[in-house]
Chains A and B, each alone.
Chain A
Amino acid sequence: MTGKLTNAQIAWRAAQDIEDGAYVNLGIGFPEMVARYQPPGRQAIFHTENGILNFGRSPSEGEEDWDLINAGKKAVTLNRGASFFHHADSFAMVRGGHLDVAILGAYEVAETGDLANWSTGPKGVPAVGGAMDLVHGAKRVAVITDHVTKDGRPKLVRACSLPLTGVGCVTRVYTSLAVIDIVAQRFVVREKLAAISLDELQGLTGAGLVVEGTIADLVVPEL
């Protein structure tokens, strides 16, 4: 498929919706890119499950302190005003509704808001980490993802086929083609790339798309 957003561009688009001063948790991997694209003049406070609020950029090589890591076990630094806390406080921030936004990756998202992002099935060693906690409690749970899998199957579906991470938890999906809200168990298209028609977008989506009012063009800079 041509004419789709790169991961960096998807992350950029998601970052535009994070308000100044928001408390934000970014999932391990691709979602971590969102931190790079905060709009000028806004500063979010980033939370990591292992017990830091307001961590900053990665240190340069050789400058790492391995007692100062994020949930992905990558070395980080601290911004002014950072704090440390133990795991029960950290997940109280998560489940207690204190985070404004959590942005996660996905294998599948259903029109019901169900998310599958922790397991691709029963093979190998199962590992869940904080994924099932993070989908509960943040005021907004958003997903960033390619619109389809590597082999072209829809990732936005009527019902997830993979093991669920959480039920009815996702409220917005930023994909490589569109920005889609989940409202009353339907996918509502808010923005799409100008180069793709609504019919083409529907053809790449495993559940019905709903239009409410006008669909804005999804416009993202080259990054």
Chain B
Amino acid sequence: MDKTVAGLPEAIAGIEDGMAVMIGGFGGAGAPIELIHALIDRFRATGSPKNLTVINNNAGNGRIGIAAMIDGGMVAKMVCSFPRSSDPRAFTEKYLAGEIGLELVPQGTLAERIRAGGAGIPAFYTPTTYGTDLAKGKPVAEFEGRNYVQERWLKADVALIKAELADPHGNLTYRKAARNFSPLMAMAAATTIVQAARIVAAGEIEPEHVVTPGIFVDRVVEVRDAAQEEALIRAGVEYA
């Protein structure tokens, strides 16, 4: 069993126009910047992939990562809970110009829809959004005297994930709050692609400490000294 690949271009192979791409991270924590920038490099060189649906909690910040994908015209639609950030220009400009779609999903519902997608549960009921504009058109049912809104699973063609440790089986650990959506996205995508700060031999991650079991992971690439998105933003870095 060896899911490791040699470099970023091999890691992102097969991501095509029109795909749904889940990208881990909450703000800058857990954003797989090197995988995203490798995808941007391919788009700049070949014109593909474009017309992507990107699923992330946010909609990019500054001029790097998801924001740079949006700036470059790779993204047709964002599925997110909070398309604002300290520098939301990229998404805001395209959204107000009608050049990008938005599916706004409450944060907990977004997480649970992704979890459901990975767990083979097509729909579930949640109290979240009952009686609000975001519940319009969705089935409502009463359970034990309270009203709940039906939400559907969310799946993707690809997930891009940032991990701390990985082994060749794809077992993963995460760093601090960089975990956020990543274990869920790893379950919900047909192909899960991971950049890890360090790839260790099988057995070196204590089985008790594995957060994402390797069954949910397809490819792992080692990216030592990976950039941290928030640190790049604060340093004024642009991926241009």
| Interchain Cβ contacts under 8 Å between A and B, 7 examples | A68-B176, A69-B230, A87-B111, A87-B180, A132-B132, A133-B106, A164-B131
Cα(A69)–Cα(B229), bound, Å: 13
Which residue from chain B places its CB closest to the CB of A78 in the assembled complex? B176
Write out the residue numbers on chain A whose beta carbons fall within 8 Å of the beta carbon of B95.
125
Which residue from chain A places its CB closest to the CB of B233 in the assembled complex? A66
Q: Given A52-B177, A132-B128, check contact A127 B108 (CB 8 Å).
A: no
Contact B230 A66 (CB under 8 A): yes
- A94 close to chain B: CB less than 8 A: yes
Contact B177 A87 (CB under 8 A): no
A interface residues with partner B (beta carbon < 8 Å)? 48-52, 65-69, 73, 84-88, 90-91, 94-95, 114, 119, 124-133, 136-137, 163-167
Cα(A127)–Cα(B106), bound, Å: 9
- B88 close to chain A: CB less than 8 A: yes
- B215 close to chain A: CB less than 8 A: no
Contact B108 A91 (CB under 8 A): yes
Beyond A50-B180, A129-B81, 18 extra complex contacts between A and B, CB < 8 Å = A66-B28, A66-B29, A66-B228, A66-B230, A67-B177, A68-B176, A69-B29, A86-B183, A87-B26, A87-B107, A87-B110, A91-B107, A128-B106, A132-B128, A133-B106, A133-B108, A163-B133, A164-B132
Q: B110, B184, B211: which has the most chain A beta carbons within 10 Å?
A: B110
Which residue from chain B places its CB closest to the CB of A94 in the assembled complex? B108
Contact B184 A68 (CB under 8 A): no
Write out the residue numbers on chain B whose beta carbons fall within 8 Å of the beta carbon of A51.
26, 177, 179-180
A104 to chain B, nearest CB (A): 14
Cα(A131)–Cα(B127), bound, Å: 12
Kindly identify which residue among B128, B134, B230 contacts A73, using a CB–CB cutoff of 8 Å.
B230
Contact B108 A95 (CB under 8 A): yes
- B27 close to chain A: CB less than 8 A: yes
Contact A84 B177 (CB under 8 A): yes
Tally of B interface residues using CB under 8 Å: 53
B187 to chain A, nearest CB (A): 10
Write out the residue numbers on chain B whose beta carbons fall within 8 Å of the beta carbon of A126.
83, 102, 104
Q: Given A125-B91, A125-B96, check contact A67 B132 (CB 8 Å).
A: no
Cα(A86)–Cα(B111), bound, Å: 9
Kindly identify which residue among A85, A127, A164 contacts B81, using a CB–CB cutoff of 8 Å.
A127
Write out the residue numbers on chain B whose beta carbons fall within 8 Å of the beta carbon of A132.
106, 108-109, 128-129, 132, 134
Contact A127 B83 (CB under 8 A): yes
Write out the residue numbers on chain A whose beta carbons fall within 8 Å of the beta carbon of B174.
84
* Proximity string of chain B (25-36) to chain A, C-beta cutoff 8 Å, 1 when within and 0 when not: 011111000000
B104 to chain A, nearest CB (A): 5
Q: Which of B183-240 contact A (CB under 8 A)?
A: 183-184, 211, 228-231
Cα(A165)–Cα(B82), bound, Å: 14
Contact A86 B184 (CB under 8 A): yes
Cα(A69)–Cα(B30), bound, Å: 11
- B153 close to chain A: CB less than 8 A: no
Q: Given A88-B111, A95-B127, A125-B91, check contact A130 B180 (CB 8 Å).
A: no
Contact B30 A67 (CB under 8 A): yes
Which residue from chain B places its CB closest to the CB of A136 in the assembled complex? B127
- B50 close to chain A: CB less than 8 A: no
